[in-house]
Amino acid sequence: MGNTSRGRKLEAEELSVLLLAVESTNEGFVTIDKDHKVLFFNRAAERLFGYSREEVIGKDLDIVLTPRCSGDHRRAVERYLKARRPKPIGHAKELTASRKDGTTFPCSISFSVARRKGKVFFTGIVRDLTHTKALQEQIARAERLATLGQTVAEISHEIRNPMVVIGGFVRQLSKIIEDPKAVTKLEIMASEVRRVEDLLLELRDLYLPRTLKKRTFDLAKLLEEVHALARQAGRGKNIRLSLETGSGPAFVRGDREKLKQVFFNLVKNGIEAVSEEGEVAIRSTVRGDRILVTIGDDGPGIPEEQASKVFSPFFTTKKEGTGLGLCICKRIVDEHKDCSMELTSESGRGTIVEIRLPLRKPPAHRGRPGEGTRPSARTGEKR
């Protein structure tokens, strides 16, 4: 009797340790019976799917599967029950699962089967593959860009050399030809040569690999510089260009010149988009451990059917333009760790670009001109 009691106590302790381990793991554990009724749902599964175990226990597994995956899973269980064939039971499989909020995510599920007192139980160990898939896409994109970069470099070299020669001869001829019509044609030729040269430079910026020169700097100070440059670019247009930053400096880490290029290009796009009496606004606000920079205009906006294409190479809504500017801006931002860039637009209501960057501690060498404490910037003027 004593041995039996000790055995049961030991078994209970082992079960307690096992349950604690299962509840502490990062993988979701979901156990169902042959009728697909959920019997066990650990804490990791709650985090993954967004349901509490009280909402899931006793319910059909379909609650966390997409319709297609549900059908596949049911057929696999039925196949096993009829023929005891383990595929895919006993193997890992990638599926698409559903969260409580309606969103889906890729996951890997390793299935196992257990029998107890004549009953069959199926357990799925669920791993979220969202970050893995994103990393794989980044690697694949980097490989594609590297291949394209090599091709672009070779093509640019072959095209640019003759363009330089053509441009040089055009400029020489424009100095000696007096016929006004001929001079006009030469000016058009020179302009087109410059356009092709600019296109080649933008292709290089888009596809060739680059090394970021990162340092910690005051983003608010940078935005003031962008605002000053944009005022010059907007001369002659009766628009309001405003800047609003928070109080004091806001330090970020990145390639200062590349990010300056991004912000200036976005502001310049806004200036080009608005009509007379329009407005372009630059604002930065600190939100937790990040800083949000918004650049908005009240121009014509972008039609809904075109909004998804704005970051695609060679897509543009301008009469003149290569369609590479936003692609380059997006790539520069994406190359900065934990930074993001999003564009929202509505036809007839303007466009807003949001860039988020993580805040950093001020550099140790304080006291450099323009990097110390300063009042908030709130400026706005018509150009």
Q: What is the pLDDT of residues 119-158, one digit of tens each?
A: 888 888 889 998 888 888 878 776 766 666 666 666 776 7
DSSP for residue 230: H
Statement: residue 89 has pLDDT above 70 = no
Q: Say how far residue 68 (Cα) sits from the centre of its chain.
A: 28
Share of the chain above pLDDT 70, in %: 80
DSSP for residue 62: G
Q: Pick 325 or 25 by higher pLDDT.
A: 25
Q: Tell me the pLDDT band of 376, cut-offs 50, 70 and 90.
A: low
Measuring CA to CA, which residue among 55, 117, 113 is closest to residue 84? Answer: 113
Domain locations along the chain: 2-128, 133-207, 214-382
The pLDDT value recorded for residue 293 is 95
The Cα-based distances of 142 to 136, 147, 200 in angstroms read: 10, 9, 20
Q: 2-128, which class in CATH? A: alpha beta
The pLDDT value recorded for residue 371 is 47
Listed ranges 188-192, 264-268, 271-275, 306-310; the one with the highest mean pLDDT: 264-268
The pLDDT value recorded for residue 292 is 94
Q: Pick 276 or 21 by higher pLDDT.
A: 21
The pLDDT value recorded for residue 354 is 94
Statement: residue 222 has pLDDT above 90 = yes
Write the pLDDT tens digit of every residue in 50-65: 999 899 899 888 888 7
For residues 221-230, average pLDDT: 92
**Structure-token match 């980097």, residue found:** 142
Q: Pick 86 or 109 by higher pLDDT.
A: 109
Mean pLDDT (the chain) is 80
For residues 268-280, average pLDDT: 83
**Structure-token match 């290029």, residue found:** 261
The pLDDT value recorded for residue 237 is 74
The pLDDT value recorded for residue 356 is 94
Q: Which fold has domain 214-382?
A: Heat Shock Protein 90 (3.30.565)
What CATH number labels 133-207?
A: 1.10.287
Statement: residue 252 has pLDDT above 90 = yes
The pLDDT value recorded for residue 378 is 59
The pLDDT value recorded for residue 4 is 65
Q: Pick 45 or 327 by higher pLDDT.
A: 45
The pLDDT value recorded for residue 373 is 47
For residues 2-9, average pLDDT: 62
The pLDDT value recorded for residue 301 is 86
Cis preceding-peptide flag for 249 (omega within 30 of 0): no
DSSP for residue 37: B
Statement: residue 205 has pLDDT above 80 = no
The pLDDT value recorded for residue 224 is 93
3-state secondary structure of 86: coil
The pLDDT value recorded for residue 339 is 92
What is the C-alpha to C-alpha distance for residues 167 and 159, in angstroms, rounded to an integer? Answer: 12
The pLDDT value recorded for residue 275 is 72
Q: At what angle do helices 130-176 and 180-207 cross, to 10 degrees?
A: 160
Q: Pick 279 or 73 by higher pLDDT.
A: 279
pTM of the entire structure?
Answer: 0.53
Q: Give 114-118's long-range contacts (Cβ < 8 A, gap of 24+).
A: none
Statement: residue 80 has pLDDT above 80 = no
What is the C-alpha to C-alpha distance for residues 261 and 105, in angstroms, rounded to an integer? Answer: 35
